[in-house]
Amino acid sequence: AQKITQTQPGMFVQEKEAVTLDCTYDTSDQSYGLFWYKQPSSGEMIFLIYQGSYDEQNATEGRYSLNFQKARKSANLVISASQLGDSAMYFCAMNAGGTSYGKLTFGQGTILTVHP
Amino acid sequence: DAGVTQSPTHLIKTRGQHVTLRCSPISGHKSVSWYQQVLGQGPQFIFQYYEKEERGRGNFPDRFSARQFPNYSSELNVNALLLGDSALYLCASSHSQGRSPLHFGNGTRLTVT
């Protein structure tokens, strides 16, 4: 079984500053994938970034980067130069065991608020 | 290209009734997954279908069922609705079973009274 833990119920950041959202995971599988999704108040889940367990480089997508520390089983999301539109719920998720990527285990989420 | 579309967007049902939720995946996507998101929590996996076959089922009672059609669209059915079934139901599609991320629809918000 897989488990995702997001320990920050809420985070606040000033516009244009960087912010790190924490995520730790637990799995006994060697092959797994880690995802971050953004969920605005509208409800849609927006894919942000993906990291495979065998990827040697940390994933980056524009202002998003994933700080992957395999030994610590952590996959923190770093958002640089925060914008007001970044205010949303953020979910860390994983897939493991060589199963389809259609089955994700999600964490509880972190609400990010960006202040002007 | 159109994203994942779900219908209806909102639904109000009474306890004991039955509901059918519909999902159309992104064109070319053959995998469809369903998730239940209760207010304040992360989504919980319900079903996954790939090439019209069930490929995974989460820890949900038999009141929940789903199917995928030849055009890869999907339906989620819930029988004998309970108050606890009130949630946002999300459908997601992906291109294959490989390293492609899930693309989610806007969801159907179900309220059971």
| Chain segment A71-93, per-residue pLDDT in tens | 999 999 999 999 999 999 999 99
Tokens 């790190």 — which residue?
A20
pLDDT band for position B38 (cuts 50, 70, 90): very high
The more confidently predicted of residues B56 and B90 is B90
- Tell me the nearest-neighbour CA distance from A110 into chain B, angstroms: 10
Of A112, A104, A85, residue with least CA distance to A33? A104
Chain A contacts in chain B segment 48-67 (CB below 8 A): 48, 50, 55-56, 58
pLDDT at B99: 63
Handedness of CA A60, A65, A66, A69 (dihedral sign): positive
pLDDT in tens, B57-77: 999 999 999 999 999 999 999
Cβ neighbours for B71, distance < 8 A, ≥ 6 positions apart = none
Residue A64: partners with Cβ closer than 8 Å, 6 or more residues away: A36, A48, A49, A77, A78, A79
Mean pLDDT score, B75-88:
98
B38-62 average pLDDT score:
92
3-state secondary structure of A85: helix
Bigger pLDDT: B97 or A21? Answer: A21
- First-residue to last-residue Cα distance in chain B: 37
What does residue B23 show for φ and ψ, rounded to 5 degrees?
A: -145, 135
Residue with the bigger pLDDT between A10 and B2: it is A10
Share of chain B above pLDDT 90, in %: 81
A73 Cα to chain B: minimum distance (Å): 20
- Answer yes or no: do A102 and B103 touch at CB < 8 A: no
Half-sphere exposure (Cβ direction) of A77: Cα atoms closer than 13 Å: 29
Q: How confident is the model at residue B2 (pLDDT cuts 50, 70, 90)?
A: confident
pLDDT score for B100: 72
- Using the Cβ of A102 and the Cβ atoms of chain B, whether some distance falls under 8 Å is answered with yes
Determine which of B51, B94, B102, B111 to mutate to test the interface with A (most A C-beta atoms within 10 Å). B102
Split at pLDDT 50, 70, 90, the class of B87 is very high
Q: Provide the 10 A C-beta neighbour count for residue B90.
A: 27
Rounded Cα gap, residues B81 and B77, in angstroms: 10
Tokens of A114: 């960006």
- In this prediction, residue A100 has a pLDDT band, given cuts at 50, 70 and 90, of low
Tell me the average pLDDT of chain B.
Answer: 93
Asked if the model's pLDDT at residue A20 lies above 70, the reply is yes
Token couple for B71: 């055009």
From A33, A91, A103, residue closest to B42, measured CB to CB: A91
Q: How far apart are CA A15 and CA A73, in angstroms?
A: 29
Asked if B111 reaches chain A (Cβ–Cβ under 8 Å), the answer is no
A6-33 burial: b if 16+ Cβ within 10 Å, else e: beeeebebeeeeebebbbbbebeeeebb
Residue of B nearest to A1 (CA): B58
Q: How far apart are CA A60 and CA B39, in angstroms?
A: 30
pLDDT 10s digits, B88-112: 999 999 886 556 788 999 999 999 9
Strand partners, A69: A74
Over range B83-87, report the average pLDDT: 97
pLDDT of residue A11: 97
